[in-house]
Amino acid sequence: MIKVRDSAPYRSGATIVVAIVVAAWLICSGLIAFAQTKNSCLDCHSNLPEPLGVSVETYGQNIHAQKGLTCAACHGGDANSDDPEKAMSRAAGWKGKIERKQIPELCASCHADAERMKKYNPSLRVDQFQQYKTSVHGMKWAKGDNKVAVCTDCHGVHDLRAPSDPRSKVHPINIATTCSRCHADAEYMKPYGIKTDQFANYEQSVHHDAMVVRGDLSAPTCTTCHGNHGATPPGVANVTNVCSNCHVFQAQLFQTSPHKDAFAAMGFPGCVTCHSNHAIKPPTDEMIGTGPKAVCMNCHTAGDAGSMQAEAMHTQLTNLASAIAASDEILSRAERQGMEVSQPKLQQTQARDALLKARVAVHAFRDSGLKQDTDAGLATTKLTYAAGQKAMQEWRFRRVGLGLSLVLIALTLVGLGFYIRNLEQK
């Protein structure tokens, strides 16, 4: 008979194990429940059609949801209750659909509260509402205009994502499209009497090309120049300041140029006068001078002091540009023919740098300002062109040399042939 061991110690041991397991399960599910805050609103509203419907996927992308906030955070009510009567009761603070004009203050109730925002992201700004009140949108809103943009028009509402998310309506790549939803709508903007061609113009610009086509997120979009929450078009006198944040040299030169005072006196908007505000096309050398595409002739008359300077500058630029092109041509010809010209080709970048500098120097609007840069550029192109010529000469030399040595070899072969014949005819 096998002795059965006393099971008492095992019974108490087993109990302890079971207790630990159950406790762990409770704690874990409690933790999970805490993280997945119950949001009863979504249980019904995810099955409703528009405009009452908000899908689980959409709300899941919302940054507020990801931080643990429920519908009740904005709409009030009780998100824990599954009973619609209790969930959407005034007693529970339910607000229902939020009126447009209430939105800025609703958002500001958290986002302007530094203490509250610190809990989520201490480095977030809390002055958006303050800024908004200084903006054209904000000022009109304060007067009761219901058509102007409020927070949700730009940021989205239920699908509101962080601005750094490329799918966010306020991600740099998408900002211009977001603004254009109103500002390119002629019907919508009729009461305000401002143009609606800004987005169409911006799409032609070099900044749009940099941002949307080349993906350079540092390129300017609407908010870069106009501000985001405090959106106001820069005043005519301030345009140069805005552009100078990136285009430092051009602005500095402009300030020393005769145009500064002249433009101020005539109320011209600085950089925008020649470059336009939204349709900033890639500038060409044809913009300067007295030619058909030259912007100078919009104000200057042919033969006046200004147009003479303009013509001189144009000549300097085109001289350097054609010198660079000539060197490029001869170098690529030499390379196609098998010559090693990698060194002068890379030297050409110095000439291109000089041309770039000269084009910037134009903003001083004196032809003497370009001289240093164009001279440096022409010195470089002289060297690179000479290198190209040398390469072509070398190419010819090699073929002549080859021809000569082949002739001598042929001569020797003929000599050898005859010599052998003579030798063996004995």
Partner 1 sequence: MAGPVASVRAWFDERFPLDDLKALAQKKKVPVHHYSYWYFLGGMTLFLFGVQVLTGALLLLYYRPGADEAFESVQFIMTQVQFGWLIRSVHSWSANLLVFMAFAHLFSVLFLRSYRKPRELTWVSGILLLFLMLGFGFSGYLLPWNTLSYFATKVGTEIPAQIPIIGRPVLLFLRGGEDITGSTLTRLYGFHVAILPALATLLIGLHLALIQWFGMSVPPGVEAKWQAFPEDRKEIRFFPNFVLRELMAWYVALGLLGALAALFPWSLGVKADPFASAPAGIKPEWYFLFMFQTLKLIPAKILGMDGEMLGILAFGLIGAVALLLPFLDREKPFKTRRWITGLACVFLGYMAVMTVDGWVAK
Partner 2 sequence: MSSAPDTGAAVRSAPANLPRRRFVNILLGTGLLASAASFLYPILRYLVPPKLPDLGGDAVLAARLSEMKPNTAKTFRFGTRPGLLVETAAGEYRAMSATCTHLGCTVQYRPDLREIWCACHNGMYDLNGRNISGPPPRPLEAFEVQVRGDEIFVRRKQEA
Binding site for partner 1 (CB under 8 A): 338, 340, 342-343, 398-399, 401-402, 405-406, 409-410, 412-413, 416-417, 419-420, 423-424
| Residue 340 contact partner, candidates partner 1, partner 2, none, CB within 5 to 8 A by sort of partner | partner 1
Question: Is the CB of 12 or the CB of 241 nearer to partner 2?
Answer: 241
Hey, what long-range contacts does 135-142 have (CB within 8 A, 24 or more apart)?
Answer: 135/227, 135/229, 135/230, 135/231, 135/232, 136/231, 136/232, 136/233, 137/231, 138/104, 138/230, 141/101, 141/104
Q: Is the dihedral of CA 250, 253, 259, 265 positive or negative?
A: positive
Angle between helices 371-424 and 342-361 (to 10 degrees): 160
Q: Is 57 in the site for partner 2 (CB under 8 A)?
A: no
Q: Is 415 in the site for partner 2 (CB under 8 A)?
A: yes
Identify residues 302-361 at the interface with partner 2 (CB under 8 A): 342-343, 346-347, 349-350, 353, 356, 360
Cα 165 off chain centre by = 14
Closest by alpha carbon to 351, among 386, 312, 303, 390? Answer: 386
Smallest gap from Cβ 245 to partner 2, in A, equals 7
Smallest gap from Cβ 338 to partner 2, in A, equals 18
Cis before 51 (ω within 30): yes
Smallest gap from Cβ 392 to partner 1, in A, equals 15
Q: CB within 8 A of 174, min separation 6: which ones? A: 166, 168
Smallest gap from Cβ 253 to partner 1, in A, equals 40
- Stretches 25-33, 156-164, 317-325, 403-411: which one binds partner 2 (CB under 8 A)? 403-411
The number of CA neighbours under 13 Å toward the Cβ of 33 is: 7
Assigned token pair, 79: 């998100």
The binding track of 171-210 with respect to partner 2, each residue x by CB under 8 A or -, is ----------------------------------------
Angle between helices 258-266 and 248-256 (to 10 degrees): 80
| Residue 396 contact partner, candidates partner 2, partner 1, none, CB within 5 to 8 A by sort of partner | none
- Stretches 41-49, 160-168, 211-219, 327-335: which one binds partner 2 (CB under 8 A)? 211-219
Among 145, 216, 261, 340, binds partner 2 (CB under 8 A): 216
Question: Is the CB of 18 or the CB of 408 nearer to partner 2?
Answer: 408
Q: How far apart (Å, rounded) are the C-alpha atoms in residues 368 and 312?
A: 9
Q: How far apart are the first and last CA of the chain?
A: 126
Smallest gap from Cβ 409 to partner 2, in A, equals 5
Smallest gap from Cβ 141 to partner 2, in A, equals 34
- Stretches 27-35, 73-81, 164-172, 405-413: which one binds partner 2 (CB under 8 A)? 405-413
Identify residues 222-261 at the interface with partner 2 (CB under 8 A): 245-249
| Residue 134 contact partner, candidates partner 1, partner 2, none, CB within 5 to 8 A by sort of partner | none
Q: How far apart (Å, rounded) are the C-alpha atoms in residues 257 and 343?
A: 39
| Residue 338 contact partner, candidates partner 1, partner 2, none, CB within 5 to 8 A by sort of partner | partner 1
Characterize 290-328 residue by residue with b for buried, 16 or more Cβ atoms within 10 angstroms of its Cβ, and e for exposed: beeebbbbebbeeeeebbebbbbbbbbbeebbebbeebb
Cis before 283 (ω within 30): no
Smallest gap from Cβ 426 to partner 2, in A, equals 5
The CA-based dihedral angle spanning residues 30, 34, 40, 46, taken in that order and rounded to the nearest 10 degrees = -110
Q: Say if CB 243 and CB 271 are below 8 A apart.
A: yes
Q: Say if CB 42 and CB 71 are below 8 A apart.
A: yes
Among 14, 186, 194, 416, binds partner 2 (CB under 8 A): 416
Question: Is the CB of 28 or the CB of 410 nearer to partner 1?
Answer: 410
Question: Is the CB of 372 or the CB of 412 nearer to partner 1?
Answer: 412
Q: How far apart (Å, rounded) are the C-alpha atoms in residues 426 and 421?
A: 9
User: Which stretches of the chain bind partner 2, using CB under 8 A?
Assistant: 216, 218-219, 245-249, 342-343, 346-347, 349-350, 353, 356, 360, 404-405, 408-409, 411-416, 418-422, 424-426
